[in-house]
Structure 1
Amino acid sequence: MIRSDCEDRLPMIVQWMCSTFNDSELLRFKNDFYCIPPRILETVSQKRNLNSFREVPTVSYVGLGLHFGDDSSFFDKIAASMRKWWFAPVCIDRHWWLYAFEIAQKRLWVLDSMYTGEHNNERLKIHIYAGRIIEDMVKVSMPACEHTENGLPRF
């Protein structure tokens, strides 16, 4: 399938918007929100990784790289640790939605403008997987935080 220029540029625009929010001097953004670059979740939420993902007592999944968080231009773990909310825009199969992670409550909100009822098992698996990756990012930016026992509650 041939993609249009608009479709090729959209992820770059969203990436740019995340950087703009994160670098903003407005107190609302500086104190409350951190935007996780969309490529992080898109990179690990690929079909082959989702197929091997197991949500059982011993969770198995492809996670973040060993040096994740070392490059602050990609993910600023210090800035992220000081915010109340993390936003993670995701595009899978040409459909965008937003994960909003509420740090203090350890809750993951799935904001999807095209939500029409319960998602299929594959979409639910993506949400669980994304929750695990976000918890890994929390552990990188706030080492004292522990993973939740049964994954992040999703709303």
Structure 2
Amino acid sequence: MCLILNQKNDKRFQEQVYCLPPDIVNMVISKHPNGKFISPKTNKEFRVEDYPSFIPFIDAKKLTSHPYIFAPVCYSDHWWLWVIDTTKRRFYILDPLHKKAPSDERKQLNKFTGYVISRMRAYAGGEPLKKDEKEKEIKVSYVNISGQKSSYDCAIYVIKWLELIEPENIKRGKYEWDNWKQDEVDHYRVEYASRILFSEMNKERDQAIRASNAIKLSKPSSILLSPFCQINSTDIETE
């Protein structure tokens, strides 16, 4: 979804917010359990160069120039969002489930995640988020924000926050906003599935549509993107 948002022709994503594609971050933290700086799998520290397949998806210009970096993170099947003010060097986590780090292991993982993002920015030609040894001690604050009501909506919240959160409105560790009702969250799930499937950036979308037993369209249709189109599991007929 980050790749789609970064291509939007609006001021937010062209000048202010860079949504960091999560591939490298999530792959790295899976190889460094609990945020260990030396991977027990490889016995090495993190290097951006070790992930050549994903480097082309990084927009170096936006990563180094935009005042805000939004970085979705997934670990142990749970998503949360890093919000980084690169000008003031302030770091926040918006977690749909937690208002503080749930464990000491998560605190360490957060330090390591900050280090990974900082290294990616430096690799792209920008200033690291912290210098020298402080880069491994980045302190991040959890934002008190209303979040998910179910056990499975974390990704939907993170994606929607990518589009809506205004970092300057984070005040005294809180972000005031009107949370969504569950039926609204369910609608967003359908909306994002449709946007991703039918995105021009999804090179395999036509193949996916043709091969699908659930969706039978002669060609991609924009009707599924309509706010008046509601689909749930009971609407899909399969043999």
Same fold (TM over 0.5): yes
- The answer on whether the counterparts of 2:48 and 2:123 sit within 8 Å (CA) in structure 1 is no
Instruction: Look up the SS of the partner of 2:69 in the other structure.
Output: strand
> Residues 24 and 115 from structure 1, CA distance in 2 versus in 1: closer, same or farther, beyond 3 angstroms?
same
Displacement after TM superposition at 1:116 (Å): 4.6
> Aligned pair 1:85/2:85, yes or no?
no
**Which letter maps to 2:88?**
Q
> Residues 145 and 44 from structure 1, CA distance in 2 versus in 1: closer, same or farther, beyond 3 angstroms?
closer
Instruction: Look up the SS of the partner of 2:45 in the other structure.
Output: coil
How far, CA to CA, are the matches of 2:73 and 2:61 in structure 1? 22
- The answer on whether the counterparts of 2:35 and 2:105 sit within 8 Å (CA) in structure 1 is no
Displacement after TM superposition at 1:92 (Å): 1.1
> Residues 104 and 117 from structure 1, CA distance in 2 versus in 1: closer, same or farther, beyond 3 angstroms?
closer
The one of the two structures with greater contact order (alpha-carbon pairs below 8 A, sep at least 6) is: 1
> Aligned pair 1:63/2:53, yes or no?
no
> Residues 117 and 138 from structure 1, CA distance in 2 versus in 1: closer, same or farther, beyond 3 angstroms?
closer
How far, CA to CA, are the matches of 1:38 and 1:114 in structure 2? 19
**Residue equivalent to 2:139:** 153
> Aligned pair 1:106/2:89, yes or no?
yes
- The answer on whether the counterparts of 2:20 and 2:58 sit within 8 Å (CA) in structure 1 is yes
Instruction: Look up the SS of the partner of 2:26 in the other structure.
Output: helix
> Residues 89 and 61 from structure 1, CA distance in 2 versus in 1: closer, same or farther, beyond 3 angstroms?
farther
- The answer on whether the counterparts of 2:80 and 2:93 sit within 8 Å (CA) in structure 1 is yes
TM-score by length of 1: 0.72
Displacement after TM superposition at 1:22 (Å): 1.0
TM-score by length of 2: 0.49
Q: Which has the larger radius of gyration?
A: 2
Displacement after TM superposition at 1:52 (Å): 3.9
Q: How many residues align?
A: 134
**Residue equivalent to 1:37:** 21
> Aligned pair 1:121/2:104, yes or no?
yes
Q: Alpha carbon RMSD of aligned pairs, Å?
A: 2.8
Q: Deviations over 1:86-139 (max 9, x none)?
A: 111111111110011111122221110111544211111110000000110221
Q: Which moved more, 1:18-27 or 1:110-119?
A: 110-119
Displacement after TM superposition at 1:66 (Å): 2.3
> Residues 146 and 81 from structure 1, CA distance in 2 versus in 1: closer, same or farther, beyond 3 angstroms?
closer
**Which letter maps to 1:91?**
C
> Residues 105 and 116 from structure 1, CA distance in 2 versus in 1: closer, same or farther, beyond 3 angstroms?
closer
Displacement after TM superposition at 1:72 (Å): 6.3
